[in-house]
Amino acid sequence: MSSSQHASPDTPPLYTPEQRRRRDATVWTTVQGVLAPLQFLAFLVSLGLVLNYLATGEHYGLAAASIVVKTLFLYAIMITGAIWEKAVFGQYLLAPAFFWEDMVSFAVIALHTAYLVALATGALQPAALMGLALAAYALYALNAAQFLLKLRAARLQAGATPQMREGATA
C-alpha cells in the first residue's frame, strides 16, 4: 500500500489505543454496524417510493409510511450512536473525533422530525411533505458520506505502519 493511502503524519489518529480497544469491545459497535446498513436500505426504498409518488401522484400512503420507518431507524441509530460515543470516547455526543458528523446528524434529525410534525399536524400538503423528506434525505446522504469517509480514515490509520502512527501522535 502506498503512503498516499495512509493518513497524513500531521493528522491525529481517530482513536487512541484505549479508545480503539473500547470500540472493539463494546456491543454498540456491532449495533451500529447492523443499524447503519438497515437505515440505508430503508432510505433507498423510501427514496424510490417518494420519487414514484412525485412522478405519478400514486401511493402517497406508502411513501409517507416509508419516511416514518426511515425516521425511526434514524432515531434508533442516533440513540445507540450516542451510547457508542459514550462507551468509546466518554461523552454521549460531540466527541472531537465525530464532532462534525454529529452536528450534521442534528440537522438531519431536525428535518426528519419536522417531517413527522408536519405529517401529524397536516401543516403541509403531500407534495410539500415529500419535498421536506427529500431535503432530509439529501442531508442524510451527506451525513452517511461523512461517516463512510471517517470509517475509511480509521481503517487507513489502523493499517498505517508503526512509524506513521508514532508520527501521527507526535
Listed in sequence order, the residues at least 6 apart from 89 whose beta carbon sits closer than 8 Å to its beta carbon are 19, 95, 96, 97, 98
- Rounded to a whole number of angstroms, the CA Rg of the chain reads 19
Q: Where are the domains of the chain?
A: 17-152
Q: Tell me, what's the pLDDT at 160?
A: 59
Quick one: pLDDT at residue 169?
34
| Per-residue pLDDT at 159 | 72
Q: What is the pLDDT of residue 5?
A: 45
CB proximity list for 6: less than 8 A, separation 6 or greater: 156, 157, 159, 160, 161, 164
- Which cell goes with 66? 416509508
Q: Report d(CA 163, CA 57) in Å as an integer.
A: 59
Per-residue cell: 149: 469517509
Three-state DSSP at 125 gives: coil
Could you tell me the mean pLDDT of each successive run of 10 residues in the chain, 170 residues long? 47 87 96 96 98 97 98 97 96 94 97 98 97 98 94 79 37
DSSP letters, 4-53, are GGSPPTTSPPSS-HHHHHHHHH-HHHHHHHHHHHHHHHHHHHHHHHHHHH
pLDDT at 95: 95
Q: What is the pLDDT of residue 131?
A: 97
Q: What is the pLDDT of residue 157?
A: 79
pLDDT at residue 155, as a whole number: 83
* Cell digits of residue 115: 417531517
